[in-house]
Amino acid sequence: MILGIETSCDETAAAIVTRAGEIGSNVVASQAELHAEFGGVVPEIASRRHLELVLPVVRRALDDAGTSLDEVELVAVTRGPGLVGALLVGVSAAKALAWSRRLPLAPVDHLDGHVASLYLEPHPFEPPFVCLLASGGHTSLLDVRSHSSTRVLGRTLDDAVGEAFDKGARLLGLGYPGGAAIDALAREGDPGAFEFPVARVPGLDFSFSGVKTSLLYAVRKLSAEELDRRRADLAASYQRALVRALVERTEAAAELIGAERVAVVGGVAANSELRASLPWARAAPLPLCTDNAAMIASAARWVEALPYPRYLALDAYASAA
């Protein structure tokens, strides 16, 4: 049994996963309502809430799986990237649990975890493939050659696409998290009503700061009454622009390296238009798109675990290498 812990942003999560990739439990305590009044995650508030939730969530994961710490053979934890204060809560908890049972500890990169969500039962998706990783903090195109070998083909040069969704939702007066709010409202609008160009940068990189500015200008041109009347059209057009950029770059990456298979992971992989625009790609199961601990435990199966007590010096890191 592998106990996974994830606290990189505003979800406190724990899961039990077997070495074969079977999910015994996957518990996620979201802080979305806590941060909604601020329109985004407040790092200090997130860290304090993780402190309150991490052990109850671990206990719930063990109970849901019908197991105990006595049966856990490996502890896995997100080491980074993410909010460093939030990460340190998870890392400290994982160290304490592993040390108390003299267990090894596997430090997992959060982005590797998203990719490893594809490797879980009952329908594992095996490498090689091109992977679009689209989330609130990251947007990357990856050449996944094996479970432990990944090459970055392209990444965002500024905002992540999930961040662009959140900021767009704020401009439209919608709730947090913004991606889900825009996705829901866009179903009522006309995606061709407005033109929001997305910057085309060299290679396979992304840039989303310009399209966010375009939405800002479009909103400013409308009166309060017009904005209320055309909010759904704005949401649909903005979403279409973001999704089109993701799809075009993903298809270009697959063609460039001759990949026959494509996967989509991360929180934005739950977006209905993105999933519909890449019907031939394997998308992560909806419960595994947003941050969760099952994906961290899954990735730990291909990470060199640190033996007791070497991991006591383990630190977190905020940014990807």
Q: Please report the pLDDT score of residue 176 as a whole number.
A: 82
Q: What CATH superfamily is the domain 129-284?
A: ATPase, nucleotide binding domain (3.30.420.40)
Q: Kindly give the pairing relationship between strand 23-30 and strand 11-17.
A: antiparallel
**pLDDT 10s digits, 78-100:** 999 999 999 999 999 999 999 99
Residue 39 in this model has a pLDDT that exceeds 80: no
Q: Please report the pLDDT score of residue 35 as a whole number.
A: 84
Q: How confident is the model at residue 136 (pLDDT cuts 50, 70, 90)?
A: confident
Q: How far apart are CA 36 and CA 177, in angstroms?
A: 7
Q: Which of these ranges, 24-38, 150-164, 201-215, has the smallest mean pLDDT?
A: 24-38
Q: Please report the pLDDT score of residue 321 as a whole number.
A: 58
Q: Please report the pLDDT score of residue 3 as a whole number.
A: 98
Per domain, the residue ranges of the chain are: 2-120+289-313, 129-284
Q: Please report the pLDDT score of residue 34 as a whole number.
A: 82
Question: In terms of CATH architecture, what is 2-120+289-313?
Answer: 2-Layer Sandwich (3.30)
Phi-psi region of 92 (alpha: psi -120 to 50; beta: other; left: phi over 0): alpha
What does the pLDDT average to over 143-159? 96
The domains spanning 2-120+289-313 and 129-284 adopt the same CATH topology: yes
Q: Two tokens at 140?
A: 């990357």
Residue 288 in this model has a pLDDT that exceeds 90: yes
What does the pLDDT average to over 288-315? 97
Residue 138 in this model has a pLDDT that exceeds 80: yes
Q: How far apart are CA 126 and CA 69, in angstroms?
A: 30
Residue 71 in this model has a pLDDT that exceeds 80: yes
